[in-house]
Amino acid sequence: MQWQLLLPEYPTQQPEWVLEDIRLMFFKCVKWQFEETMDPINCPYHYFCDSAYPGNYSPAVDILVLIFTTASYFATLIVMVMEMSGKGKLGNLSKRYLLPSGPISLPLIILVLAKGYRINTIFPLSLAGPAILQLVHISALSFDGRAVKDIKYVFFEASTISGILHASLYLDSILLPYYTGLDALMASSFSGECPSCVCRKGALIVGGRLVSYRGWSVTTFLVVGALCLRIVCRVSGERTGNIMLVKSFLEGIGWILITLDCIYLSRKSPPERLTLHVAVFGGIFVLICLHGLKTACSQIIRLYTKCNKNRIGNICIAKKMEET
């Protein structure tokens, strides 16, 4: 889908800085007011923005968030590569503290997303926020601290579940105004009565109709469900095969949905800051591919080990038969 973020007729006569202010007004509006119209044929739905945006944080805040997010990404990447190579020297607790879903990084990510509405200069979270949540999902699913004691394990997983749910809600508080403004900007015409006054053929809904991605989604609930079942399996001693099967199924579906979300956002999101857009979702796709490669290698090694055991068992049986 080709996005064209060209403003309609009314503001095209304005200077460039005015156009940027209008775009910001649309993308950051949290309250669209519907009012009666005198032209039900050409302007059946008339809206205007009835909220004031307090402004962006200093670019220094964006830089700090960018550095923190990059460090979290490379921590996840390094841990995944180390586990694939079998040369990991970090303990389970050390890995957990380094990962984005860990007890240090996850609260910071929640804080960033909670304040992300005004992080909008160098590293706008309206574009990078979904990738940050996907990074947390990947981190939570790809790492399972089996060597951690039961009490600590339950505490860590419960805090991760709570953190993912909070991060999803805070992300939606960033995305919903952005997607609503995107819909109002692209599928409307300016009435000229005020800078944000638009006429529409259909009603304007929260989140718009152009991009359907949400942080509070089926993907989030599947990841949370898989983590809950991990706790159940750990507490029950992993003796219940049915629960293990359901857990593995939820984890698999969760990875599939994360992949589909990544592909969808890569194709659907507006091409603002194209370099940043390619970098964040390209990085997420690399992690997904690494996990797929790790899973495939694990299955091959498991099958090879099983075949070796069967072959050795057959040789032993044959020798016993010869001796008798």
Could you tell me how far CA 166 lies from the centroid of its own chain? 13
Q: pLDDT tens digits for 250-277?
A: 999 999 999 999 999 988 877 677 888 8
Domain ranges of the chain: 10-323
Number of other residues whose CB lies within 10 A of the CB of residue 189: 14
> What is the value of pTM for the model shown?
0.86
- Quote the CA–CA distance of 121 and 113 in Å, as a whole number: 15
Q: What is the reported pLDDT for 155?
A: 86
Are 110 and 170 in contact by the 8 Å Cβ rule? The answer is yes
Reading the block at residue 89, the tokens are: 């020297």
Look over the chain and give the mean of its residue pLDDT values, rounded to a whole number. Answer: 83
Which of 4-8, 203-207, 289-293 has the least mean pLDDT? 4-8
What average pLDDT does range 33-45 have in this prediction?
Answer: 85
Q: Which residues, including other chains, have CB under 8 Å from residue 167's CB and lie 6 or more apart?
A: 106, 109, 110, 113, 132, 133, 136, 215
Q: Which is it for strands 189-190 and 45-49: parallel, antiparallel or unpaired?
A: unpaired
CA distances from 249 to 14, 220, 309 (A): 55, 15, 27
Q: Give the chain's radius of gyration (CA, Å).
A: 25
CA distances from 164 to 77, 132, 143, 257, 309 (A): 20, 11, 15, 16, 42
Q: What is the reported pLDDT for 111?
A: 95
Alpha-helical segments (H) within 187-240: 218-235
Q: What is the reported pLDDT for 73?
A: 94
Q: Residue 181: name the closest of 220, 131, 124 by CA.
A: 124
- Quote the CA–CA distance of 219 and 171 in Å, as a whole number: 14
Helix (H) or strand (E) holding 94: helix 92-98
Band (pLDDT 50/70/90 cuts) for residue 140 is very high
Band (pLDDT 50/70/90 cuts) for residue 69 is very high
Q: What is the reported pLDDT for 17?
A: 47
